[in-house]
Chain A
């Protein structure tokens, strides 16, 4: 039997380990480190659906998407855009074939998205939190 004072930290370590495992599959939105705009869920949704072309501070926003085969993409479509990937494709097909919009550029994987966001002050993308590097700024969505 361990003294009581030892039990708590152990429990905390165990908890943080299991949470850490979950957090590996967590999706985060990323922007250029210089981007100071306030960004919420609705804005991310509007930017990625082509309804909004600027951040809240008036600066230009360039959404960077992931290819459909990337696991982050499906998670982003269902959680943030609140549609299935097929529905998002159907949504864009309506806009593309009427000249009303151009879907965001799609990159091959999380590393490519991070590189693109790090290189462009107007860029906004999303990746698995485990892939995040110091070259981009993470936005916490509610």
Chain B
């Protein structure tokens, strides 16, 4: 409660402090910029003589560049597209930093019966096998390690049915003779081997996380504002 009250008070103070004030009209400032450029030509025109055309021209903001409106929107779209393209991230293998790690084959190409391993620990306990190749085009269906019951009915996930404790639970794990895929954790820790520490995330976001979130919101708001401004351009009849 105290925190909420304090936050509300601070918000009120912040709004009062950052209350919007008038800011310079961008249209006027833009005009001023290039009328300064025109100013030289105005002087030269006046030197030629005070004809009526010169009188008119001296008060003109200048001729409009040809096609300024038609090309403006297209250029803007291209620029936005170019800005957005480098932000597309490709999926990176989680084993990219481990020495000697083979690339993980895509899941969709695994044949049926391939055991999957816990890649973090390198152990082979409780391997999960791909029981069915799954529907074409779709991901394979993962089963816990259990003898396949009937083999049919692809697409239905069947829980392992324990009929009787005929075997000790340890022998429930099939013995796998395939050498483990991950070799790095089994080697003695070399000096240059990167140690993969598990990332511990706290359930409560840090203030920096909040700040980044708010910064993102502000950027989205800015983009929306600019988009709204740009849409005014051709609104006039």
Co-complex (A, B): no
**Which residues of A pack against B, CB within 8 Å?**
none
